[in-house]
A and B are shown apart, each in its own frame.
Chain A
């Protein structure tokens, strides 16, 4: 046993090693990415580990490994589960032989996501157990239990830490690393692995028969606990259980829910001993629904009657508001304060020298009244540059572009998609667009890495998750093989070539692909690439602010002239933009 100060996701990664996981796959997504990022950098991981091209692919790979008797972990963010939902929903029918754990990291408040969906619903939908940790230690211990449960019931098990678990830190008690690994062997069993109707009807019945045993086992394992202390009670799920412990008066009972499905008999017994119940859980009112079902006359406070919000993440103050409203406390325990107003905002911004910026700039110049569907990645920040008109989910730039075009909209439609997102689910949209005669320009922003989630390699990086070289994927050949005839690759730092290529694309019809290729500046810096910085000659600068409008965070404006600070990475694009020729390479004296 050892105590360390760790990030939630690092503690989870450690737990996977303690559980002796043999097979790991996933697709990066905040807040889940650091689990695999930790495991892929440890010396001798002793297991197969991969970043897969998307979540469905990752899930199916892990499922197959678990069918072969291995312990398999698959990680993704909550919206990734949508992509993996197809195999997920039927994998509970087929079940598994080796333990299989799905880590689905939820993001209440959408800190870094397109929605606030609740993965507990997916677990209920698929009828698999779901562990909902209240703390990092719970998440760590829960992983080990999850593998045991999975093997005991022959089912995949979900664990759904939220952002405030994945990205918080604490002093965590760690166990010993497991030694030795299983080698997969596939045992032919069509009645289990071939889900034709005749088999699946039986498998569904078997899945349902497992449910009561799961509910009881979760209580025995201590995931769901209750302490009776008075007439009034609080029932809290996930991290809310930690928040409430900080402020709960001594004479109020508390039940904490750390796993699903909840045993109704157990819940009814707790509820029946009280007169009033306040239910606290982020996002969907799942516990509240169960409580209302078993209640007989108790007063229930929750989301359904407005005591707590249905959206966003909770905090001790929001919970204190609910305690106050329900009459559990008589005064608010925290001061009322408000942030300073009128400050210049500091949202995230594309890095100085990021290749996406010049690409967006050129698109806007050439396609003046164009429509710009985009996708998910750092380049979504192109919104600030007015070059992102839609973003819905991974891979939906090309499909939205072709849909807009085929709807009869007459303006040019120019969409942007990153290399990783193109390989994730973008390529299907490209095949479809060509096949169905769309008239669009597709700009692939190829920086050779999955940047936003922390620079994970993808097939286009030519490196695997563990750092071994992999065969090169040719985006050009892929696009051509989909039937695209206009495929042009450009260096986005070469502004005149970029503008020229866009103009040529504008003249053509059909699906046109421009691949803008330049490594992500963060990756380039880590690899030791150096470019000369640029500077503004104050005497020549006319103060026209055109470079400021370009939006590079290295360019400031003081006393009516521009100035370049040391964030500059030397992409040279601003020098091409400046009409006065005031920006030039810095010469070291």
Chain B
């Protein structure tokens, strides 16, 4: 039935999930493959939890069915937990080692989860937690964290590395191409062991 490779990219409004999904879309175009995607616009982008769904080789609707995604890329640890149920059994999860706590966590009076708590929850053979912000900063700008994370996920994505890098070039601002290329490759390097 399902022929597509389904990727969920999740994070917080304003973190650049849409740009990351555009890179995958462009890479599909480069390889002449069909692609469908859905994303959050509007009110939720004001710091709310957001998702981009991309179906590589997708031919039908844009929505990924919970429990069937092949890959989850999370820009924030808490969002990884929130969307984990979208993954199929054995699906890969690439997570940025960053935790931005929502204001609700401080005003609710409940114990506030820490990076360690959540990392332990997520730990498993199909999970890679990557310090994408540090990699991006070393490459020249913390703003390239989304691309570093894509690099880290690139081993799992059924698209050629060259297509992905060309996708990066097409999607990021002209001036930042070298930084982003660098961030992508360093991110890719960071999870070589998987």
Contacts and interface: CB of A to CB of B under 8 A. Distances in A.
B188 interface: no
A164 B104 contact: no
A344 B39 contact: no
A452 interface: yes
Nearest to B29: A5
A339 to B, nearest CB: 5
Nearest to B35: A171
Contact of A164 (B21, B44, B61, B107): B61
Contact of A168 (B12, B47, B62): B62
Given A167-B39, A169-B36, A169-B62, A339 B28 contact: no
B102 A345 contact: yes
A239 B66 contact: no
Interface in A210-248: 239, 242-243, 245-247
Given A168-B37, A335-B67, A453-B42, A343 B78 contact: yes
A315 interface: yes
B40 interface: yes
A578 interface: no
Most buried by B among A335, A337, A339, A381: A337
A333 B1 contact: yes
- SS class of chain B's interface: helix, strand, loop or mixed? mixed
A350 interface: yes
A178 B150 CA distance: 38
A558 B111 CA distance: 11
Contacts of A551: 103, 107
B151 to A, nearest CB: 20
Most buried by A among B12, B37, B41, B48: B41
Contacts of B26: 5
Nearest to B121: A340
B187 interface: no
B194 interface: no
A585 interface: no
A107 B35 CA distance: 23
A494 interface: no
Nearest to A333: B1
B22 A346 contact: no
Given A30-B43, A344-B110, A336 B48 contact: no
A34 B68 CA distance: 30
B78 A168 contact: no
Interface in B32-91: 34-49, 54, 58, 60-63, 65-68, 78-79, 81-86, 88-89
Contact of B82 (A336, A339, A555): A339
Interface string B121-133: 0000000000000
A475 B127 CA distance: 55
B46 A344 contact: no
Contacts of A556: 101, 106
B101 A316 contact: no
Nearest to B58: A170
A521 B39 CA distance: 24
A333 B25 CA distance: 27
A335 B67 CA distance: 6
A334 B40 contact: no
A287 interface: no
Contacts of B106: 548, 555-557
Contact of A112 (B43, B49, B79): B43
Most buried by A among B12, B48, B62, B67: B62
A556 B99 CA distance: 12
Contacts of B67: 334-337
A420 to B, nearest CB: 15
Chain A to chain B: the 8 pairs with minimum beta-carbon distance, closest first:
A112-B42, A348-B48, A335-B67, A5-B25, A30-B42, A168-B62, A337-B67, A246-B60
Given A169-B37, A348-B48, 10 more contacts: A31-B42, A168-B39, A169-B36, A169-B38, A170-B36, A170-B37, A245-B60, A334-B66, A335-B66, A551-B103
7 contacts: A5-B35, A164-B61, A334-B66, A334-B67, A346-B104, A351-B47, A453-B42
